[in-house]
A = this chain, B = another copy of it.
Amino acid sequence: VTRNEIDLNEAEAPGRRARRATHRDVARQAGVSPAVVSYVINGGPRTTAPATRERVLRAIKELDYHPNMMARGLRVQRTQTVGFIDCDFAPLDVYVSPYSAAILTGLTAELSLREYHLLISPVQVGQDLRQLERMLRSGRLDGLVVRLVEDSSATVELLTMISTTGIPCICIERPVEPRFGFGSVLVDDDAGAFAATSYLVERGHRRIAHLAGDSRYASAASREAGYRRALEVHGLPCDEALVACRSWTPLAVDAALSSLDALADPPTAIFAASDSLAFRAVELARAAGRRIPDDLAVVGFDDIPLAQEMVPPLTTVQIPLREVGHLAARRVLGLIDQDQEAAASEVLPVKLVRRGTA
């Protein structure tokens, strides 16, 4: 007598965890073959007579049957799961940073529409990839969304590893060489920084400092590049003493502001590479008795929730982060469905939102 022939109720004896109903139980109860149960559940590939269909559906209800994803996944080679790899220098920031948070929000919302699940894997840039590779090769994932923060050889190594696994993949934040065939959804950091800086110039500022982000991050570099380009276009000199910080840590702004203040010709405006940096600058300046925006104008980048909670609210560059998540999700799903178009690259526009600090 095989396990499957044990009566279901009998197996539900107290003490042991109840055995779950399988499609065979359903088949027996409905008086059909296991195949038909599958046809009914999946609406194919064969059609079923309405009457049998009804009986099967009823049996499913009665037995409270739920298909086992492991078994189904093993059979059809699908897991209904996509992974999110956040490859950062401070990997556990995935959750802490409002930046990835917004992306994850978009991703999750879109995936759950198609009953897909999200598996999050923080990875440290340059860390040993073996554990990750084991995971990817274990067949647990149908697709992948990878957030890249820089273009070093460590990143290429990661991408190469991923591509050898053959898992469909969409990249976020950094573009990726076409040879990988990965598709990406990006954001126009450079244009945003250009717009922010230009805005300050238009407001009459001539000494505009830049609180740059951690220079290991490509987005920090792009934002700085946009800043420099704007100065140049507007015929302003770029005083190296005006670019400071080079860290994402808000507390690093303290030292940066001190040196800026010590300048013979201190800045009248600041363009910060992130809202958190901008926020700290505002706090510090205000504590030093300066009025925002009159004594010091400040523009941030990202438009995190805090930007609207500050007083005055922060003028900043808004990134459609949730949209990035949505699009990335739709693209992986597209790749999984063999839609070649999904492997394209797309860069989303950002927009300056004028509020109270500049």
Chain A contacts to B: CB under 8 angstroms: 17-18, 20, 66-71, 73-74, 79, 81, 92, 95-96, 98, 100-102, 104-105, 108-109, 112, 115, 117-122, 131, 133-135, 137-140, 166, 250-251, 276, 279-280, 283-284, 286-287, 305-306, 308-312
- The answer for the CA separation of A83 and B142 in the assembled complex, in Å, is 18
- Indicate which residue in B134, B305, B311 contacts A283 across the interface (CB closer than 8 Å): B311
CB-defined contacts of A100 to chain B, threshold 8 Å? 95
- Indicate which residue in B92, B276, B308, B312 contacts A108 across the interface (CB closer than 8 Å): B92
- Indicate which residue in B74, B118, B286 contacts A119 across the interface (CB closer than 8 Å): B118
Q: Which chain B residue lies CB-closest to A83?
A: B117
- Indicate which residue in B104, B133, B251 contacts A308 across the interface (CB closer than 8 Å): B251
CB-defined contacts of A117 to chain B, threshold 8 Å? 119, 121, 135, 140
Q: Which chain B residue lies CB-closest to A251?
A: B309
Is A92 touching B119 in the complex (CB atoms < 8 A)?
no
Is B287 touching A69 in the complex (CB atoms < 8 A)?
no
- The answer for the CA separation of A269 and B18 in the assembled complex, in Å, is 56
CB-defined contacts of A276 to chain B, threshold 8 Å? 309
25 contacts between A and B (CB under 8 A): A20-B137, A20-B139, A66-B138, A68-B138, A68-B139, A70-B70, A70-B73, A70-B74, A70-B140, A71-B74, A92-B109, A95-B101, A96-B102, A96-B105, A112-B131, A117-B135, A117-B140, A118-B120, A120-B120, A251-B309, A283-B310, A284-B311, A286-B311, A287-B312, A306-B306
A18, A69, A286: which has the most chain B beta carbons within 10 Å? A69
- The answer for the CA separation of A236 and B284 in the assembled complex, in Å, is 37
> Other CB < 8 Å A-B pairs besides A96-B105, A112-B131, 13 of them?
A20-B137, A66-B133, A66-B138, A68-B74, A70-B139, A71-B74, A95-B105, A96-B98, A115-B134, A119-B119, A250-B309, A279-B309, A287-B311
CB-defined contacts of A306 to chain B, threshold 8 Å? 306
- The answer for the CA separation of A7 and B139 in the assembled complex, in Å, is 21
Is B18 touching A166 in the complex (CB atoms < 8 A)?
yes
Is B140 touching A69 in the complex (CB atoms < 8 A)?
yes
Of all A-B residue pairs in the complex, the 7 with the closest CB atoms, nearest first, are: A66-B137, A95-B101, A69-B138, A283-B311, A70-B74, A95-B104, A287-B311
Is B79 touching A108 in the complex (CB atoms < 8 A)?
no
- The answer for the CA separation of A73 and B70 in the assembled complex, in Å, is 6
CB-defined contacts of A81 to chain B, threshold 8 Å? 119
CB-defined contacts of A79 to chain B, threshold 8 Å? 70
Q: Which chain B residue lies CB-closest to A277?
A: B309
CB-defined contacts of A137 to chain B, threshold 8 Å? 20, 66
Q: Which chain B residue lies CB-closest to A65?
A: B137
- The answer for the CA separation of A166 and B15 in the assembled complex, in Å, is 12
CB-defined contacts of A102 to chain B, threshold 8 Å? 95-96
CB-defined contacts of A287 to chain B, threshold 8 Å? 311-312
- The answer for the CA separation of A330 and B51 in the assembled complex, in Å, is 50
- Indicate which residue in B69, B101, B133 contacts A101 across the interface (CB closer than 8 Å): B101
